[in-house]
Structure 1
């Protein structure tokens, strides 16, 4: 009799990865919480300075560039991109020096006013820790890659404060159009264990209550506005991606020492603050909270309409000049402020917070190609009442942003339109997008047939109208002739 090996093997594998991912989640949750606490202490210490903290930004960017170039070049830029590149090209192999360098340079960049985020370092710290443990335990390449993905999910879950969305994001962000289901359970376990560890160690998270409308009440007019908002948020995501890329290329082409570039970028942002204000330095969490307020007395002028445009530029200059940090928190800022402005244009005053929430998650989906985790994040942060509208806006934004991403190393496994052909398996930055001639001709033929049928229908209507008019004229002539004969 054949021994049943399938289910025992599955049970053994599940047990192995549940234990491993649980332990790695606890370790990463503790390390990332340490990073968050150091960042919080650094921000609190700024109040003791005898001058504005952002005057230190030029020095902060220079120091960040020096530390990165000297000790860990992999820590350059927003960390999530480097992690994705390591997973796809090196089976998750990451230099352990990245962990302390990324932690320190991100704290320096953010505390001195650089416009960046904290999730990229969280992901890079998580992935670097998992990679180091894999090497210590002599894991195979495949197991190391799997554990590193768990580390990414744990890092995101700890920083976001959304264990489910964070776990899914760590998987979904790797490949556009495909989910690595074999890592789904370990990522969930790692995400939850990291999140609960962070909570146990005192990490605090912000959740928003957007509940001006009734439960499960579907407003068709509002849905139409949400669909229009999805298009707008997709264009905002496209603008973020294009600005980051062009700014990075422009800075790289400047024939100047990288330290002078970093110093000059810091000076530029300080000078711009005299024109636009100081709300664009650092994480900008207070501005996000302000955009989420449901106080109708604030009106649409509580935030300047151009806030999201200025934040895009500040973030592009900070990261393009060598600053260290993530890109997701600025995306949240840009999404919330652009949604707040959009709500002021097309919604009522009490819908400002709703559209700010929709922008928060929709721009994320469009810029990172992660619609599933963005939808789950809407549920975890804003509640089920917002999730219905968020899902619509998120999917539209994801499609409108096109085949591009803030993470150029993402692999692409889908086309967002059947009229386009994509080279699957390539980096999204290098993938070639071209018109699908066969589908286009088919679509064109269908459209032409519709036009022909419409033209025939119009001709038929005109002929019927002409015959009807002729009959009316004949009857009128007959009546007139009859009246003449009778008279």
Structure 2
């Protein structure tokens, strides 16, 4: 009995140690990411509109980095860092490994994208840095294969928790991100430790201040309000699916057209983004778009802002630029909620908040993490509505999502006959090749 307790506390201590170490490193690295992105995006790019014309050349540089330095053979398996979050998810499943260089490459690529006006976010770089740091710790401490997966999830948690100032969400996100319908609770202790340490290193130690989105008014609980929330959640889930399908479609088409030459793909993608910017006549939809995102909680924004951001981001990331997709989904959902204010009698800030959470939930396929994000981001306001919105948007988004490598362990509907363990990519390819009878 004494030996069992000794082993238990030994394992518990090691998880806390590894989680804390990952959180410390990733929290510091994420602070550097956030501060640098703020400087490049807000103080450099916005004051120099002409930088947008260099976006195609920036795409060539990003493509060169990934083509020449992004591919690494580990254990006789090719690990391509250009797969971004999908490579991190594959490493959780034990299919591939995250190279140590993945974090620095994605940081540099994200900085170039933000500086030159590509439409992107930040959590992707933070998550990939988390995976890279976890890989370094796995290698240094010679962690066994099973525990390496757990530490990779801890790296994901640290990156997300630090990037958004949401440590509880980060802890769950690391366990929920890799698979639909399965929560990997075996990683709870290191994920929780890594996320909280990463968050407090970012905010308390380095003093970074995250953006705040405030709900001014929450509607009264009633059957009518719940019916409106359900309808809205369906709409937000569908717009999220539209974004995911367009983004993946552009990626698949451009890879086929240019024979996976990332330099050519990104150059042409950059030209298209420049053209779209000139057509729109402003740079509101370039970069992260945080200013309009915050504005959508306070006053009306252009009614088709959500559609413009959807197209800008799908072209940017689909053509080979890098960055996160959470912030763009926040923008798309919040501005769509803002646009619906004229048709649905609910408070403006509440509609924006509902859209932000539901669109993210549908794209990420992480209903628990999305609900917790709403609780942390909006101080627990409207928890009944956000719970319903997360569940509905998750179900109605079907077997689609931001990351094709996500495995499907729990079907969203019995209408689909999918063997356990298939990925979103497998399902989408099967649908494309399935011919109708007759």
Q: 49, 70, 73: which is aligned to 1:72? A: 70
Alpha-carbon shift at residue 269 of structure 1 (Å): 1.5
Alpha-carbon shift at residue 40 of structure 1 (Å): 2.3
What does 1:442-457 correspond to in 2, within 5 Å? none
Alpha-carbon shift at residue 162 of structure 1 (Å): 0.4
Judge which range, 41-50 or 184-193, deviates more.
41-50
Q: CA RMSD in A?
A: 2.1
Cα 1:90–1:135, aligned 2, differ >3 Å: closer, same or farther? farther
Q: 35, 38, 42: which is aligned to 1:37? A: 35
SS in structure 1 opposite 2:417?
Answer: strand
The structure number with the bigger radius of gyration is: 1
CA distance in 1 between counterparts of 2:257 and 2:38 reads 35
For structure 1, which runs of at least 5 residues remain unmatched after alignment? Answer: 436-487
1:416-456: per-residue Cα shift (whole Å, max 9, x none)? 12333221111121138999xxxxxxxxxxxxxxxxxxxxx
What does 1:366-385 correspond to in 2, within 5 Å? 366-385=362-381
Q: 208, 211, 219: which is aligned to 1:206? A: 211
Q: Does 1:150 align with 2:148?
A: no
Residue of structure 1 in register with 2:348 after alignment: 352
Alpha-carbon shift at residue 4 of structure 1 (Å): 4.8
Q: 203, 207, 219: which is aligned to 2:222? A: 219
Q: Does 1:191 align with 2:195?
A: yes
Q: Does 1:430 align with 2:437?
A: no
1:305-346: per-residue Cα shift (whole Å, max 9, x none)? 222122111111111221011211111111111121123321
CA distance in 1 between counterparts of 2:429 and 2:266 reads 35
Q: For the Cα contact (< 8 Å) 2:41–2:287, is it kept in 1?
A: no
Q: For the Cα contact (< 8 Å) 2:214–2:349, is it kept in 1?
A: no
Cα 1:382–1:48, aligned 2, differ >3 Å: closer, same or farther? closer
Q: For the Cα contact (< 8 Å) 1:423–1:431, is it kept in 2?
A: no
1:50-100: per-residue Cα shift (whole Å, max 9, x none)? 5433222112212111112121143325x3222112222446x21111121
Residue of structure 2 in register with 1:236 after alignment: 239
Residue of structure 1 in register with 2:168 after alignment: 164
Q: 81, 85, 91: which is aligned to 2:90? A: 85
Runs of 4+ in 1 over 4 A off after TM superposition: 47-51, 255-258, 432-435
Alpha-carbon shift at residue 141 of structure 1 (Å): 0.9
Cα 1:259–1:433, aligned 2, differ >3 Å: closer, same or farther? closer
For structure 2, which runs of at least 5 residues remain unmatched after alignment? Answer: 72-79, 432-438
SS in structure 1 opposite 2:410?
Answer: coil
Alpha-carbon shift at residue 283 of structure 1 (Å): 0.7
Alpha-carbon shift at residue 255 of structure 1 (Å): 4.4
Cα 1:271–1:90, aligned 2, differ >3 Å: closer, same or farther? same
1:232-269: per-residue Cα shift (whole Å, max 9, x none)? 01111211121112111221232486434322222222
SS in structure 1 opposite 2:424?
Answer: coil
Residue of structure 2 in register with 1:327 after alignment: 325
Q: For the Cα contact (< 8 Å) 2:87–2:98, is it kept in 1?
A: no
What does 1:98-109 correspond to in 2, within 5 Å? 98-109=102-113
Residue of structure 1 in register with 2:249 after alignment: 246
CA distance in 2 between counterparts of 1:110 and 1:431 reads 33
CA distance in 1 between counterparts of 2:198 and 2:309 reads 30
Q: For the Cα contact (< 8 Å) 2:134–2:152, is it kept in 1?
A: yes
Alpha-carbon shift at residue 192 of structure 1 (Å): 0.2
Residue of structure 2 in register with 1:398 after alignment: 394
Cα 1:82–1:224, aligned 2, differ >3 Å: closer, same or farther? same
Q: Would you say how many aligned residue pairs link Structure 1 and Structure 2?
A: 420
Alpha-carbon shift at residue 190 of structure 1 (Å): 0.5
CA distance in 1 between counterparts of 2:228 and 2:408 reads 30
CA distance in 2 between counterparts of 1:51 and 1:18 reads 47
Cα 1:249–1:213, aligned 2, differ >3 Å: closer, same or farther? closer
Residue of structure 2 in register with 1:416 after alignment: 412
Alpha-carbon shift at residue 414 of structure 1 (Å): 0.8
Residue of structure 2 in register with 1:451 after alignment: none
Judge which range, 372-381 or 56-65, deviates more.
56-65
SS in structure 2 opposite 1:384?
Answer: coil
Cα 1:311–1:19, aligned 2, differ >3 Å: closer, same or farther? same
CA distance in 2 between counterparts of 1:369 and 1:427 reads 13
